[in-house]
Amino acid sequence: MWGVRGRGIGYSAGMRDTAVNAHYQQILGDTSPWSVSEVRLDVEHLVNEVRLTVRPDTIWACPKCQNRMHIKEWRTRRWRHMDTCQFKTVLEASVPLVECSEHGAQTVQVPWAEGSSRFTLFFEQFAVQVLEACPTARASELLKITWDEADGIKQRAVRRGLARRHVTGLKYVCVDEKAVGRGQDYMTVVTGVIGGDPRVLYVGDGRDEAALNGFWEWMGLEACAGIKAVSMDMSQSYQNSTRRYCPNADLIFDPFHMMKMLNRAVDEVRRREMSIGTGSERDALKQTRQMWLWGEENLPDRHAARFEVLKKSSLKTARAWRLKELWRTFRACIDVDDAHAFFLKWYKLAMQSKLEPLKKVARSFKAHLAGVVTIFKHGFCNSLAEGVNSRIQLLLQKSCGYRNRQRLKTDILFHFGGLNMDPLAAQ
């Protein structure tokens, strides 16, 4: 009942052939106008080859304009499918190249694969799930494909997801910069809340005005007009871009970035005091850098006794630290008016401190006061973006960095974009 075909072992002609063909046709689903005509089993190489053929009287149309076209030539193509019975399964079919007077020569699209992909939709669906769970190198090993093939599946998945994405009703947006390389190498990451979860909506090169302009242009004027608030740091470039495209949106300056500014100011006071202070002041400040940067409640127990003395001392660094800790209570304000009153009191103390780094930060806060207090109007800040940034940093560490910027953008959108990348899902 068995016969040899080509280089492998296949079913002999008869009822057994018909049953196997029908079985694989059921597995593949609707492949019309093609149908399974032959199944070949290569035991030596553990490959199962499924041949699909088309009726000779089939009428073909241009894939773009759908006008009836004549066949220019036939091309034999192969696609990797899901394994069956531990055998690598490959589909093979002759696909016509049709000639269109308007669009030129066009290859007819087969129903079981996408575009020029050499993988079936079922295989790509499974591959996307594997790629979401592990790095590309490991996924390529599990799927038994090359790294470039796995990366190609990932890129097609992101393009598919972006084509399906429709951002409607977006009210709040986080804009943040992300260091992705050595030196001044940054990307602009835009995060929004979709379906209750933070999603990366856009990744731009650099951290200048043009990097953010691309996002607003992608959104369109109507969507930009519906934005209520944008949370960001105090970057003038981001402010200019947002005000140009979203004139109705409030700017919210993120508390996290303001605390970073204050921490840098406290550390600058400490370094100056270490440089020009007396001998006893320098001795007191030795190996205390991190103590001043921790929140008081986060100070490790091993430093508690020493820091209790330091924070009550007359050191300039201690005064700067007390102003920094006082600002942390800003979050306890109940509304915009309360926040405005708190700021005026804190600003007066900062300007009376005679600590130039703290005074510089206070002046900056005052210049951007509207964005500083607006958080109490919307209750929204960059905490969502900072969480996403942490996950992006983990992605960078696992990959040991990226030499190709576009691949990094693709990976960020693939893992954190919340895209519908399923090739079998409805559009």
Write out pLDDT tens, residues 310-336: 999 999 999 999 999 999 999 899 999
pLDDT tens digits along 42-95: 888 889 999 999 988 888 877 677 777 778 889 999 999 999 888 999 999 999
* pLDDT value of position 131: 94
What is the side-by-side strand order in the sheet with 172-179? 197-205, 186-194, 172-179, 229-232, 250-253
pLDDT tens digits along 168-181: 888 999 999 888 87
**Res. 11 pLDDT band, cuts 50 70 90:** very low
* pLDDT value of position 200: 93
**Res. 244 pLDDT band, cuts 50 70 90:** very high
**Res. 183 pLDDT band, cuts 50 70 90:** low
* Percentage of the chain exceeding pLDDT 70: 95
Average pLDDT over residues 161-188: 85
Contact present, 242 and 249 (Cβ < 8 Å): yes
- For the chain, give every residue range classified as CATH 3.30.420: 172-254+401-416
Give yes or no for residue 276 having a pLDDT over 60.
yes
Q: What angle do CA 247, 250, 252 make, to 5 degrees?
A: 135
* pLDDT value of position 426: 61
Contact present, 233 and 222 (Cβ < 8 Å): no
Alpha helices in 194-235 (DSSP H): 209-219, 221-225
pLDDT tens digits along 349-399: 999 999 999 999 999 999 999 999 999 998 888 887 778 888 888 888 887
Give yes or no for residue 4 having a pLDDT over 80.
no
Whole-angstrom distance, CA of residue 413 vs CA of residue 161: 9
CATH class of 172-254+401-416: alpha beta
Tokens of 62: 């241009």
Position with higher pLDDT, 252 vs 194:
252
Please, what is the average pLDDT of the chain? Answer: 88
Position with higher pLDDT, 407 vs 104:
407
Whole-model pTM: value is 0.82
Give yes or no for residue 104 having a pLDDT over 90.
no
**Res. 16 pLDDT band, cuts 50 70 90:** low
* pLDDT value of position 109: 85
Whole-angstrom distance, CA of residue 249 vs CA of residue 307: 43
* pLDDT value of position 403: 79
